[in-house]
Structure 1
Amino acid sequence: MTLPRRQLPNEVVSLVRHTHQHEPTLTPCDTTNEIIAYQMACAATEHNQSVHTVVAMCDHIHTIVHDHNAVRSDFMRDLNAGIARAMNHSRGTRGGFWDRTPFNEVLLLNLNAIEQQIVYTCLNPVATGEVDSLDAWPGFVIRPRDWGKPMRVPKPECFYGDDRPDVVEFIPQPPPGYEKLSLEEVIEHFENLIEEGRQTLLAARPAAQPKPNMFVPPAPHEDPRTPVLRKRTRPRFAAGDPALIAQAREQYRSFLEVYRRQRKKWLNGAKPRRCTFPAGTVWLRKNSPVLCAPPPAVSLGVFLPRSAAEPPVAA
């Protein structure tokens, strides 16, 4: 049985979904970028996700969000389903668009993890050697300098009917934990981190490696340019602190123990309303009559939203 996800309100997570067999079916072009932008705007608005960073690569999409209502599974469902339908229509193809494995999520436990993941995400095109700078990447991107700026995303001309809004507006936001800084200071901090990371990556490149003048789109069905380690264990947590990650793993183990105990009780004939599953239960909470415990007062990886009623908006 696939291990259940544990999702609590106000967690910051890094989300990744790969295409079928890692084929470059998301190779940047105007139509692909428009579809991803529109679906991201629709899904983020509908499911109340504060979007911090997005980088669409040729065979996967990185997204970092502050999940206010513990509905990131719904967010990813609608985002990925919408992209798949629109992309298949635009390409004249049918069948599975995404990899058979579910989306990967990493819970970011502290500010160090948030900073590292945002930098890592923004430098993906540089790390793969496809470009020297994120500015040169032609795919859809949301980065720190976009925070606080309203994005008006028009409906692409392909695929979408009259039942979808002509324009969707949302505002990318900085991550929680930086409320003592102004929006401009937070943006400068993260953009500086990205530039430092970029310089490190460029310095580490082999001298013989050719310098990319511009992005060269891969051929259809071309193998991914970086090896795919399918048997590697995917991390659930990031912190840069082994002790904190150990605490998070123990927190998840405790969740699993209660989950399995209540599931066994239910399968053995107990009435659903007499089975209280742990806080963070996802699928059963939505699709069965069982009860779920309320979120705990304190949990690793939970960042309470800023106290101000309105999110920061760039001047």
Structure 2
Amino acid sequence: MTLPRRQLPNEVVSLVRRTHRREYTLTPGDMTNEIVAYQMAIAASEHQQSVHAVVAMCNHIHTIVHDHNATRSDFMRDLNAGIARAMNRSLGTFGSFWDSDGYGEVLLLNLTAIEQQIVYTCLNPVATGEVDSLDEWPGFIVRPRDWGKPVRVSKPECFYGDDRPDVAEFTPQPPPGYENRSLDEVIEYFENLIEEGRQKLLAARPEARPKKKPFTPPAPHEAPSTPVSRERTRPRFAAGDPALIAQAREQYRGFLELYRRQRKKWLKGAKPRRCVFPPGTVWLRKHSPVLCAPPPPVSLGVFPPRPTEAPPVAA
């Protein structure tokens, strides 16, 4: 049985989803970028996600959001399903678009983790050696300099019906925790962090590295030749502080213990009122008539929204 996810309102998380067999079916191009941007706008608005960073790579997408109502599972479901349908039609393909492992999520426990993950996400194309600068990356990207600026995307007509809006819009936002600075100051701070990280990546490259050629999009059904390490485990938490991560793991273990105890009672037919699942329960809360305890007043990784920021509303 897959371990249940624990999702509380106002958590900041890093999310990633990879394509089937790591194929380059998200190779940047005008149509791919429009599809990703349109679906991002639709899903973020419908599920009240404040978007902090996005990078669409050739075979995976990184997204960092402030999850206001613990609905990121629905956000990822609709984002990925919409992209898969439209991209399959665009490429003339059928069947699985994403890998079977589902999406990965990392709970960001403090500002250190938020800063590191935003820098890591934005610099993905540089870290992989595909470009030397973010301005050279032709794929869809949301970075700090986009915060506070509405992103309006027209519906790609070929792949969507009349039930979808003609124009979708979302406004990327800075992460919570920087309310003592103006928007311009926060943008400058994060853009400087990204530039520092970029310089470190470039300095770490081999000196004998040949002159960088412009990015050449790979064919959609090619895939990396490097094998995937199946022994690698996905991290659940990021903090830059081992003690804080250990505390988060203990918090999650407590959630699992209570969840399993209540699920056992529920499966044995106990009355619903006697089975109160822990706060953060996702799947059973949505698909079964179970009771869940209210979210705790304080929890690791929970950040109140910025005072000037209202949760996104569906268009």
Question: Please, which runs of 5 or more residues in structure 1 have no aligned partner?
Answer: none
**Who is 2:145 aligned against?**
145
**Who is 1:172 aligned against?**
172
**Who is 2:296 aligned against?**
296
> What CA distance in whole angstroms lies between the structure 2 residues aligned with 1:202 and 1:160?
41
What is the CA deviation profile of residues 137-162 of structure 1, one whole-angstrom value per residue up to 9, with x for unaligned ones? Answer: 00000000000001111111221112
**Who is 2:264 aligned against?**
264
**Who is 1:13 aligned against?**
13
Q: CA 1:167–1:303 in 2, change beyond 3 Å: closer, same or farther?
A: same
> What CA distance in whole angstroms lies between the structure 2 residues aligned with 1:79 and 1:310?
21
8 Å CA contact retained: 2:35, 2:87: yes
My pick for the range that moved more, 177-186 or 161-170, is 161-170
8 Å CA contact retained: 1:17, 1:102: yes
**Who is 2:223 aligned against?**
223
8 Å CA contact retained: 1:51, 1:64: yes
> What CA distance in whole angstroms lies between the structure 2 residues aligned with 1:197 and 1:227?
27
Q: CA 1:244–1:72 in 2, change beyond 3 Å: closer, same or farther?
A: same
Q: CA deviation at 1:212?
A: 2.3
Instruction: For 2:166, give the aligned amino acid.
Output: D
8 Å CA contact retained: 1:113, 1:240: yes
> What is the 5 A alignment of 1:175-254?
175-224=175-224, 228-254=228-254
Q: CA deviation at 1:19?
A: 0.2
Q: CA 1:167–1:114 in 2, change beyond 3 Å: closer, same or farther?
A: same
**Who is 1:124 aligned against?**
124
What is the CA deviation profile of residues 249-301 of structure 1, one whole-angstrom value per residue up to 9, with x for unaligned ones? Answer: 00000000000000111112212332100000000001111100000011000
Q: CA 1:178–1:63 in 2, change beyond 3 Å: closer, same or farther?
A: same
TM-score by length of 1: 0.96
Give the 3-state SS of the residue equivalent to 2:158 in structure 1. coil
Instruction: For 2:286, give the aligned amino acid.
Output: K
Q: CA deviation at 1:186?
A: 0.2
> What CA distance in whole angstroms lies between the structure 1 residues aligned with 2:215 and 2:136?
8
**Who is 2:71 aligned against?**
71
Give the 3-state SS of the residue equivalent to 1:50 in structure 2. strand
Q: CA 1:196–1:183 in 2, change beyond 3 Å: closer, same or farther?
A: same
Alignment RMSD, CA only? 1.2
> What CA distance in whole angstroms lies between the structure 2 residues aligned with 1:29 and 1:273?
53
Instruction: For 1:14, give the aligned amino acid.
Output: S
Q: CA deviation at 1:179?
A: 0.5
**Who is 1:102 aligned against?**
102
> What CA distance in whole angstroms lies between the structure 2 residues aligned with 1:54 and 1:225?
25
What is the CA deviation profile of residues 92-113 of structure 1, one whole-angstrom value per residue up to 9, with x for unaligned ones? Answer: 1110000000100000000000
Give the 3-state SS of the residue equivalent to 2:82 in structure 1. helix
8 Å CA contact retained: 1:35, 1:83: yes
> What CA distance in whole angstroms lies between the structure 2 residues aligned with 1:121 and 1:298?
27
> What CA distance in whole angstroms lies between the structure 2 residues aligned with 1:220 and 1:288?
40
Q: Which has the higher contact order (CA 8 A, sep 6+)?
A: 2
Q: CA deviation at 1:89?
A: 0.7
> What CA distance in whole angstroms lies between the structure 2 residues aligned with 1:246 and 1:75?
28
8 Å CA contact retained: 1:128, 1:225: no
> What CA distance in whole angstroms lies between the structure 1 residues aligned with 2:268 and 2:310?
48
> What is the 5 A alignment of 1:20-39?
20-39=20-39
Report sequence identity in percent: 82
> What CA distance in whole angstroms lies between the structure 1 residues aligned with 2:253 and 2:310?
37
> What CA distance in whole angstroms lies between the structure 1 residues aligned with 2:277 and 2:130?
46
8 Å CA contact retained: 1:155, 1:165: yes
8 Å CA contact retained: 2:52, 2:173: yes
> What CA distance in whole angstroms lies between the structure 2 residues aligned with 1:70 and 1:84?
23
Q: CA deviation at 1:225?
A: 6.5
8 Å CA contact retained: 1:29, 1:138: yes
**Who is 1:52 aligned against?**
52
Instruction: For 1:140, give the aligned amino acid.
Output: F
**Who is 1:40 aligned against?**
40
My pick for the range that moved more, 240-249 or 226-235, is 226-235
